[in-house]
């Protein structure tokens, strides 16, 4: 690894790449982008020129560059496996956009490939890096709120039909599913980081009349956490005009409500406190209407973990937990019964 800066290769220049590029501009003192690649020369050269990065001529040029320490992978999930195998075998650490892959089985294979080659793997669940999310995590870990008694998750997003008209979007072949794996996965990962694992779910998934797509745009379900705590989740991209997702934890000493980058604590003694600041979440018609600071902090933490020789947060193994939860919610709807989720250590 280079002494002064982490050498980073970037593959993928689609819609999700912009906040990453802005974050990497902010991190130029500690991370050097060694090259940007996408399959279309015009796109990668335009992207590289816009953000001041060098364009790479090939994947092999990046994988074989000894100054590249890690790969930032921003492709759709159906374009991941061969790339990860190539870079992992070359000893490059991996930071990739969510989801890990389209199925939990395929996601597990990616994690195994990285582990077998001794490289670290991190997943872009940037909601964990909001100031308000970190504050709530600290309050829970310190026991300040008391035991959690009830969990409520609401993701009332909106997407125009034009969003799903893009080839492959909302399909199982490219994306692996609909609202759960493409949108709600961020909030569900954050929830699990706060509450611990879910043991049982019972859910209904559907495609509303507002969208023509292969997979689901609505899911509602009940959850029983491994701790015994009950909870609920509602996720959709059919709620016009779209609102910010929220997590509410009803605890012994207070109710904690996390929404739009703001944490509101309503204490049982009548006090009320707020932390954080409102920011866009991409819940409306513009999927990219959110700040890039969360990406910056996540990428910086990934780089620090690689330098220190430890797993980043969240890691590939962390991400398998949310994949299993999504599988269970969809299976519950399909089979019309409660589904138990095996523990990650099973």
pLDDT score of 260? 86
Query: Between β-strands 148-156 and 230-236, what pairing exists: parallel, antiparallel or unpaired?
Result: parallel
Residues of the chain under the 70 pLDDT cut = 1-3, 279-290, 345-346
**E strand spans, the chain:** 6-11, 31-37, 70-73, 93-97, 121-124, 148-156, 198-206, 218-225, 230-236, 246-251, 254-259, 262-267, 272-276, 339-340
Range(s) within the chain of domains with CATH label 3.30.360.10 = 128-287+321-340
Distance between CA atoms of 315 and 180, rounded to whole angstroms?
19
Judge contact between 170 and 208, C-beta under 8 A.
no
DSSP code string of 144-175: TT-SEEEEEEEEE-B--HHHHHSTTTT-TTTT
Distance between CA atoms of 196 and 227, rounded to whole angstroms?
8
- For 295-334, the three-class secondary structure string (H helix, E strand, C coil) is HHHHHHHHHHHHHHCCCCCCEHHHHHHHHHHHHHHHHHHH
Closest CA to 272 of 290, 256, 291, 284: 256
Closest CA to 161 of 112, 213, 126, 83: 213
CA distances from 100 to 10, 77, 108, 147, 266 (A): 16, 7, 8, 32, 36
pLDDT score of 279? 66
pLDDT score of 282? 60
Q: How far is the first Cα of the chain from the last one, in angstroms, to the nearest whole number?
A: 36
Taking the CA of residue 181 as centre, how many other CA atoms within 13 Å lie in the half-sphere pointing to its CB?
29
- Residue range 128-287+321-340 in CATH 3.30.360.10: yes
Residues whose CB is less than 8 angstroms from the CB of residue 85 and which lie 6 or more positions away in sequence, other chains included? 113
Distance between CA atoms of 244 and 187, rounded to whole angstroms?
11
Distance between CA atoms of 88 and 209, rounded to whole angstroms?
43
Distance between CA atoms of 24 and 10, rounded to whole angstroms?
10
Taking the CA of residue 316 as centre, how many other CA atoms within 13 Å lie in the half-sphere pointing to its CB?
23
pLDDT score of 252? 98
Judge contact between 208 and 151, C-beta under 8 A.
no
pLDDT score of 345? 56
Judge contact between 140 and 148, C-beta under 8 A.
yes
Distance between CA atoms of 249 and 28, rounded to whole angstroms?
38
> What residues pair up with 235 in beta bridges, in sequence order?
155, 219
Range(s) within the chain of domains with CATH label 3.40.50.720 = 6-124+296-312
Query: What are 9's two structure tokens?
Result: 């290769």
- Residue range 6-124+296-312 in CATH 3.40.1280.10: no
Query: What are 249's two structure tokens?
Result: 């934890």
Dump pLDDT digits (tens) for 167-213.
Answer: 999 999 999 999 999 999 999 999 999 999 999 999 999 999 999 99
Classify residue 163 by burial, with Cβ atoms within 10 Å: 0-12, 13-18, 19+. middle
φ/ψ of residue 12, rounded to 5: 110, 125
pLDDT score of 2? 43
pTM over 0.85: yes
């Amino acid at each position: 690894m280079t002494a002064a800066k982490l050498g980073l290769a970037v593959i993928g220049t689609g819609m999700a790449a912009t906040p990453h590029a802005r974050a990497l501009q902010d991190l130029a003192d500690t991370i050097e982008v060694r090259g940007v690649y996408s399959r279309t020369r015009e796109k990668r050269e335009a992207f590289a020129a816009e953000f001041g990065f060098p364009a790479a001529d090939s994947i092999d040029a990046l994988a074989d560059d000894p100054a590249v320490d890690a790969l930032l992978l921003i492709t759709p999930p159906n374009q991941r496996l061969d790339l990860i195998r190539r870079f992992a075998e070359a000893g490059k650490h991996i930071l990739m956009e969510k989801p890990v892959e389209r199925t939990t089985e395929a996601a597990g294979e990616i994690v195994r490939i990285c582990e077998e080659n001794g490289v670290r793997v991190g997943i872009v669940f940037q909601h964990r890096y909001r100031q308000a999310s970190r504050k709530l995590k600290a309050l829970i870990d310190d026991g300040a709120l008391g035991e959690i008694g009830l969990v409520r998750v609401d993701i009332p997003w909106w997407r125009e039909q034009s969003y799903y008209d893009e080839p492959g979007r909302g399909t199982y072949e490219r994306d692996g599913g609909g609202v759960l794996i493409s949108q709600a996965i961020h909030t569900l990962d954050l929830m699990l980081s706060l509450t611990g694992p879910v043991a049982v779910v019972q859910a209904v998934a559907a495609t509303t009349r507002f969208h023509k797509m292969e997979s689901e745009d609505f899911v509602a379900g009940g959850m029983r956490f491994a701790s015994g705590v009950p909870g609920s989740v509602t996720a959709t991209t059919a709620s016009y005009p779209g609102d910010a997702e929220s997590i509410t934890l009803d605890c012994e000493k207070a109710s904690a409500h996390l929404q739009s980058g703001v944490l509101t604590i309503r204490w049982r003694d009548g006090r009320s406190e707020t932390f954080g600041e409102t920011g866009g979440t991409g819940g409306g018609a513009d999927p990219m209407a959110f700040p890039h600071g969360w990406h910056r902090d996540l990428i910086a933490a990934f780089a620090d973990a690689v330098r220190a020789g430890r797993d980043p947060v969240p890691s590939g193994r962390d991400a398998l937990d949310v994949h299993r939860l999504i599988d269970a919610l969809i299976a519950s709807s399909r089979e019309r019964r409660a589904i138990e989720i095996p523990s990650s250590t099973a």
